[in-house]
Structure 1
Amino acid sequence: MNQKPTLHFFCGKMASGKSTLAQTLAQENNAVLISEDIWLSKLYSEEINEFSDYLKYSSRLKTILSPHLQHLLLQGVSIVLDFPGNTPSQRNWFRSIFESVGVNHLLHYIIASNELCKQQLKIRSKDQPEGSAFTTDEEFEAITQYFQPPTPEEGFKIEIYQKDEMVNFVDNN
């Protein structure tokens, strides 16, 4: 391959559309899509019952995946990581991956109101059984309190999507 591979990753509130965008980007960029939700549900479905459990098992998954992701990138494979980058510490994990192997990166930042995310959360959750992880407005509020948008000081290449209504993404760049 002549072009350096790219690590794509995301920042956006719960139910803002990160997974939908991830699927689209993987197809458009002929990239490998790796989804945290899928891996966690397959590996730790019975262990994750509250947010602290998610944090514990997400950390374990990242430790396992990091060298694998670096290897794929070194082989010239672009990757779309459908993992949240909603805090500086989460985004630093992505940075550690792309900087360690010297590849391109792109942070896809989805801006959406709490109201829109809650609407989308209800739609997404309607087919899940009661008690499924992180599906209520209260859980949304509890998790969203930790959300921190990316800042210019973090130094990421960022593509911004403004999502005002339940329509397609609009690129503001």
Structure 2
Amino acid sequence: MNQETTLHFFCGKMASGKSTLARTLAQDNHALLISEDVWLSQLYPEEIHQFSDYLKYSSRLKATLSPHIQNLLLQGISIVLDFPGNTPNQRNWFRSIFESVGANHRLHYIITSDERCKQQLKIRNQGLPEGSPFTTEAEFEAITQYFQPPTPEEGFQIDTYQRD
């Protein structure tokens, strides 16, 4: 494996700018971008109606993609995973991937206020095609209650971005 091969992943509240940063990092690092939102919307367009549905299908997607991501890293291809790493359990999935193949990693942690996230969420919702599901402020609040920033004890290589 190439010494520069890296798995990039993210921690940040909903609408904090993770996907925008993911696209930039993929381009700047000549890395393959894999976006959970894209895969879920293509594979399960009619199945995700509530948070429990998301958890179910996200888990299936992760189990399916893990060996492929590991193989790509072993081939020397850096990966940008646009999947949330907003809890220790979610971050452990990323750890299982990069540790199993001995790849480098970068956890990109975006610090953004709830107010800014809600503003960005409104803008994002306005740009959705007609009939697309959008995220309400109440859903933002419900999901954000589970958010846990990374800690030094987790041992990740962290790049921090302040977006307020």
**TM-score, normalised by the number of residues in structure 2:** 0.97
Listed as ranges, the gaps of 5+ residues in structure 1 are 165-173
- Cα separation, 1, equivalents of 2:40 and 2:154: 28
Q: What residue in structure 2 maps to residue 106 of structure 1?
A: 106
Pairwise mapping of residues 15-30 of structure 1 onto structure 2 (< 5 A)?
Answer: 15-30=15-30
Distance 1:61 1:2, change over 3 A: closer
Q: Kindly indicate whether residue 47 of structure 2 is the aligned counterpart of residue 44 of structure 1.
A: no
1:45 shift after superposition = 1.1
**TM-score, normalised by the number of residues in structure 1:** 0.92
1:127 shift after superposition = 2.3
- Superposed CA offset, 1:67-106 (max 9, x none): 0000000000000000000000000000000000001000
Q: What residue in structure 2 maps to residue 139 of structure 1?
A: 139
1:151 shift after superposition = 0.3
Q: Which amino acid in the other structure matches residue 104 of structure 2?
A: N
Q: Residue 19 of structure 2 aligns to a residue in which SS? A: helix
Q: Which amino acid in the other structure matches residue 73 of structure 1?
A: L
1:131 shift after superposition = 6.5
- Cα separation, 1, equivalents of 2:124 and 2:46: 20
1:130 shift after superposition = 5.9
- Cα separation, 1, equivalents of 2:6 and 2:131: 38
- Cα separation, 2, equivalents of 1:118 and 1:23: 21
Q: Residue 69 of structure 1 aligns to a residue in which SS? A: helix
Structure with higher RCO (Cα < 8 A, 6+ apart): 2
- Cα separation, 2, equivalents of 1:2 and 1:54: 34
Q: What residue in structure 2 maps to residue 85 of structure 1?
A: 85
Aligned length: 163
